[in-house]
Chains A and B, each alone.
Chain A
Amino acid sequence: MSSIKIRASASDGVTTVKALISHPMETGTRKDAKTGEKIPAHFIQEVVCTHNGNNVMTASWGAAISKNPYLSFSFKGGAAGDKVGISWVDNKGEKDSDETEIK
């Protein structure tokens, strides 16, 4: 199952995209309550957003983006049936991507 949920809707020539990503977004400063050991940093560093394969926006994130990140953005153009894609890469090199059709 994809870690990304995307919703994209077009109206009046503008497409608005809302996305939720499942990710722990560990800062590396939190301690495990039981062992007292630091939980290693694990967070998304880059999110790439595309419309029909063309780059719309690239986000660079630090560890201070909340757990299970939410992202909303919009762009000019886009029509029902067009593809909107989102992909992410984290500091451990893990990655995921997904796409949806504009409604």
Chain B
Amino acid sequence: MTSMKRRIFLKGSLATGALGVAASAGLITPRASLAAWAKDAFDAKDVNGALSGLFGSSDLAASDKIKIKAPDIAENGAVVPISVSTDMGNVESITIVTEKNQNPLTASFAMGATAIPDISTRIKMGKTSSVIAIVKSGGKLYSTGKEVKVTIGGCGG
């Protein structure tokens, strides 16, 4: 188990390193403080890039303790209501990733000491996609996903 964790850690650091110039910025900004807007992660074009940029790792463990509430079919992709909650303890952050969006990373909520891990917002979806909710708890990443069918895209262009 220990060696597994080490491998995941190494994988994460290597992925960041391989990004070259982008990484030099990435090493300073994203994880030092969650309050700093993680530009690399939000600019990433795929889910792994977004997760590596935000957490330094894209290794997710599936969890049934995360509840994601979203419509099965969204008639208007410009306004898709999403709620994420979990009964896990020690939740550090809740992150929403929309797999097929041009920039998959949609939002990340850093939880303060008194925050209850239950948030709702509305997101834009370019097309039918899986919406992934990621909960960081005790330094580990857990996720669950839900497919949302979009009949009219909401990202314009």
Contact = CB atoms under 8 A, between A and B. Distances in A.
Interface of A: 14, 25, 27, 29-31, 45-46, 48, 51, 54-67, 69-77
Contacts of A61: 106-107
Contacts, number: 111
Interface residues of B, number: 37
Interface of B: 34-35, 37-38, 42, 78-81, 83, 98, 101-103, 105-112, 114-116, 118-125, 154-157
A51 B114 CA distance: 9
Chain A interface SS verdict (over half): strand
A71 B115 CA distance: 14
A60 B122 contact: no
Given A70-B81, A71-B120, A72-B120, 8 more contacts: A29-B155, A57-B112, A60-B38, A60-B107, A64-B98, A64-B125, A65-B122, A69-B122
